[in-house]
Amino acid sequence: MRSFLSASGSDTRQGRLAGKIALITGASRGIGAAVALRFAGEGAHLVLAARTVGGLEEVDDAIRAIGGTATLVPLDLRDFVKIDELAAALLDRYGRLDILVGNAGEFGIFSPLGHIPPSVWAEVIDLNLTVNWRLIRAMDPLLRAAPAGRAIFVTSGIGRDTLAYWGPYVVSKAALETLVKIYAAEIANTRIRANLIDPGTVRTRLRMRAFPGEDPDSVPPPESITDLFVELAATECTRNGEVVALPRAARQD
């Protein structure tokens, strides 16, 4: 297993994100892995956080194959103190954080609200909402230290609907959008910009759990949405406090 905060690969220093330090959560698969690979191709150095060590190493191998660099951080984000420790390590090593991508998420279960086990409710709210607040709390000083700090969080259009039986997931995404918009208002007069991406229908493990009968081959892969992440991570991005979605023609939801 590659060690905590050990970097690998050679830095190409080319592309729209050249020289930037980008932290991505939920980076071992799906959207997080696709964004990591795209950011690496744009010249960023990646700090990849996830619980699955094997998945992180596979993403690292893909990044190195294109000449990129990555730092692997295997951790459970719900161990909130570890987020503070990661921020301290990033401060010590880099002195800043250019890009934060809050992507890690959990679906939970379909259930009437009154039947949801408290442990399931806590798991979904913790990972989809509280973890992102802890990331904002811990990483804000590092984003402020960057020339153009960018924070991007992954939401869902489902969070704007009151769907029966989707309780924990819908509540967590609705709250996440409010959280990020509040943060965006608070940093409006700084160099930081904070936004949310609604990726629409994307082929991920979370979606397969929510729609088990769906043909995965009929759903666009995560790589199809990475342009949006690059746009919001770039220095020239001026958007702030927005929920940014794929153009309607490109969506399938």
Active site residues: 169
Are 44 and 22 spatial neighbours (Cβ–Cβ below 8 Å)?
A: yes
Burial of 166 (0-12, 13-18, 19+ CB in 10 A): buried
- Per the document, the length of the chain is 253
Residue type, 54: G
| Cross-sheet strand order for the sheet of 243-245 | 6-8, 69-74, 45-50, 21-25, 99-102, 150-154, 193-198, 243-245
Helix and strand counts by DSSP (H, E) for the chain: 8, 8
Taking the CB of residue 108, how many other CB atoms lie within 10 A of it? 24
Name 249's Cβ contacts closer than 8 Å, sequence gap at least 6. none
Name 65's Cβ contacts closer than 8 Å, sequence gap at least 6. none
Distance CA(27)–CA(31), nearest Å, equals 8
